[in-house]
Amino acid sequence: MKKFILGKKIGMTQIFTEDSLAVPVTVIQAGPCAVVQKKTMENDGYTAIKLGFEEVQEKKLNKPDKGLFTKINVPSKRYLREFRTDDIDKYDVGQEVKAADMFSEGDSIDVSGISKGKGFAGVIKRYGKHRGPETHGSKYHRRVGSMGAGTSPGRVFKGKKQPGHMGVDKITIQNLKVVKIDSDRNLLLVKGAVPGPKGGLVVIKETVKSGK
């Protein structure tokens, strides 16, 4: 059975092991989520489960989502995401999915989120490039560097790293460890950092790199 859930990044802290070692962890509120739809091979051509997370006022929904929640008699949810799985028979529409139902301590997971927006950034901040000399009359300090040859080919090659918008990209961190689960408060403590700001939505799945 595939493991997946939606959650919200709370922030980072540290916990101590029995050997008195400090472990940096990210606290994620994982669920509770509601099963709002089941995709079947007969109707949709594939099998999947759609989960809803975090209650929201009905007036903030668009018309299709409002109709969906009214039809299944489930409180309105802010976030909806589909997860491909062959085990749709193990879920019922309206069923509540919690962190402890899906994951156990020691599980390896992949966490996806939207990275923090940094606005317009230069190549040093955006790509970690080296700066130019600061002395001997140089006027080229934090700029992009050589654009390539002049006459031939006479153009800038595609893929040249240049200044631009930084952040607000989908980032996935793979093979993180679930250190601890607080089933009463639906909290996952994951070793290391996960993408996004505090309060940002994260998608948690079992890792694709299991055993590596």
Domains of the chain: 4-116+169-206 (2.40.30.10), 118-166 (4.10.960.10)
- pLDDT in the model for residue 211: 58
Query: Omega into 32 within 30° of 0, i.e. cis?
Result: yes
Chain centroid offset of residue 186 CA: 17
The identity of residue 9, as a single letter, is K
- pLDDT in the model for residue 1: 67
- pLDDT in the model for residue 17: 83
- pLDDT in the model for residue 105: 85
What 3-state DSSP class applies to 33? strand
Cβ neighbours of residue 189 closer than 8 Å, sequence gap 6 or more: 15, 25, 26, 27, 28, 178, 179, 180, 181, 182
- pLDDT in the model for residue 208: 84
- pLDDT in the model for residue 210: 65
CA 102 – CA 36 distance, rounded (Å): 17
pLDDT tens, the chain, 212 aa long? 688 899 999 999 998 888 888 999 999 998 788 888 888 888 888 888 889 898 888 888 888 888 888 888 888 888 889 988 888 888 888 888 888 888 888 888 999 999 999 999 999 999 999 988 888 888 888 888 888 888 888 888 999 999 999 999 999 999 999 998 888 888 889 999 999 999 999 999 988 876 55
Say if residues 33 and 6 touch (Cβ distance below 8 Å).
yes
Say if residues 186 and 30 touch (Cβ distance below 8 Å).
yes
- pLDDT in the model for residue 41: 87
pTM of the model as a whole: 0.81
CA 29 – CA 4 distance, rounded (Å): 13
